[in-house]
């Protein structure tokens, strides 16, 4: 499987990681900003919806575990400092949220 296929598959697998405060998955919310898949490791860049998200440690660890299980290689998660806004959400997800 190519790195592109692995990344696409990982994005699907990460739909199981739900932000408990919002009730939507991290892919719908647009929290995964970058995925690098290599033969022997992977790295995921992720942001939070707010700078002081009380669920950040839980979401980061769940993302790391899900990624590592899916890919079968050690995976690191980096929390980016980019500010999240609703325009980062998947197309159609904003209307599902019902706030905008």
Pick the closest to residue 32 from 5, 64, 74 (CA basis).
64
- Asked if residue 60 belongs to a domain, the reply is yes
- Asked if residue 100 belongs to a domain, the reply is no
* Residue 99 confidence (pLDDT): 52
- Asked if residue 99 belongs to a domain, the reply is no
- Asked if residue 98 belongs to a domain, the reply is no
Q: How many domains does the chain have?
A: 1
CATH of the domain at 74: 3.30.300.130
How far does Cα 15 stand from its chain's mean position?
A: 8
| Residue 5 CB partners (closer than 8 Å, separation 6+) | none
The pTM of the full predicted model, rounded to 2 decimals, is: 0.89
- Asked if residue 17 belongs to a domain, the reply is yes
- Asked if residue 91 belongs to a domain, the reply is no
Distances, alpha carbon 31 to alpha carbons 2, 4, 35, 48, 76, in Å? 23, 19, 11, 6, 15
Domain holding 57, by residue range, is 3-84
Residue-by-residue pLDDT tens, the chain, 100 positions: 787 799 999 999 999 999 999 999 999 999 999 999 999 999 999 999 998 899 999 999 999 999 999 999 999 999 999 999 999 999 877 665 555 4
């Amino acid at each position: 499987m190519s790195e592109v296929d692995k990344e696409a598959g990982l994005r699907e697998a990460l739909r199981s990681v739900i932000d408990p405060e919002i009730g939507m998955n991290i892919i719908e919310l647009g929290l995964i900003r970058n995925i690098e898949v290599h033969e022997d490791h992977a790295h995921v860049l992720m942001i939070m919806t707010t700078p002081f998200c009380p669920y950040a440690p839980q979401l980061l660890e769940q993302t790391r575990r899900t990624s590592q299980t899916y890919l079968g290689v050690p995976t690191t998660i980096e929390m980016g400092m980019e500010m999240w806004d609703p325009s980062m959400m998947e197309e159609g997800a904003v209307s599902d949220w019902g706030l905008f």
